[in-house]
Structure 1
Amino acid sequence: MEIQNARETDFYKIIELDKKMIGSDHRKEEIVQAIKEERCLIMYQEDKIAAFLIYHTHFFDCCFISLIMVDPAHQRKGLASSLLAHMSKISPTNKLFSSTNESNESMKKTFIKNQFKKSGFVDNLDEGDPEIIYFKECY
């Protein structure tokens, strides 16, 4: 599967996947803005979005992957790793960060597999489930 920048025509398919995963479309504005600013990467499987990633550079002027979504039908096939590897190559800053909940064992393993290191944590976002920050140096 090829990784490409999302286009405006991909918006509804991205929202469909996001809503499927979280049960809400409350991130519509964030997603449309990321598409407009070319900060949303997608992977297609046939005519459906199999995975997408959104990033920004508002995390202490460093690149931060704020969202990675993989359709359940395509999980455990390396799509998140492919997106992380691609982001490591195209990151607009030398420092790349992301995060996941402490309870998300799958994503924690994916970060470690892709040479991200734990960089800290944030309490009080999700009750009883700290957010772990991950870091990778990009060249």
Structure 2
Amino acid sequence: MDVIGNDSRRNYIKHAIDAGNCIITKEDNSISGFLTYDTNFFDCTFLSLIIVSPVKRRRGHASSLISYMLRHSPTQKIFSSTNESNESMQKVFKANGFIRSGIIENLDEGNPELIFHAKKLRA
């Protein structure tokens, strides 16, 4: 809960953990962040949550999680999204080889959701 600040996504995260679709990153023997994914997005991997503890951001944890998925994704195509206002996450996607692939209006009023895409790296 420290990482996400509230328990609004608790059931979703628990389901991802139970399904084996949650990857964690650790620093100093404590969880620094996590990534959840599924393959329900047109039979492609979708990185649905990438969350890093606020006190451990800008240390490469998000990139480490994404890098793992780029190598171990169950599908060849990988998608994710972030709000237009989340410039730091857009930079993380770009730094990890993702390209912008689309936009969804009207999820958050006045703050469109940007879709990003990358291909699985060869092992």
Report the TM-score when normalising by structure 2: 0.94
Q: Which has the higher helix share?
A: 1
* From 89, 113, 123, the counterpart of 1:131: 113
RMSD: 1.0
Residue matched to 1:17: 3
Q: Aligned pair count? A: 121
Residue matched to 2:41: 59
Residue matched to 1:114: 96
Q: Which letter maps to 1:56?
A: D
* Deviant stretches of 4+, over 3 Å: none
Q: Give me the identity figure in percent.
A: 48
| SS of match in other structure, 1:82 | helix
Rounded to whole Å, the distance in 1 between the matches of 2:116 and 2:55 is 26
Report the TM-score when normalising by structure 1: 0.83
Unmatched tracts of structure 2, length 5 or more: none
Deviation at 1:60, TM superposition (A): 0.6
Rounded to whole Å, the distance in 2 between the matches of 1:26 and 1:53 is 16
Deviation at 1:73, TM superposition (A): 1.2
Residue matched to 1:48: 30
Deviation at 1:137, TM superposition (A): 1.0
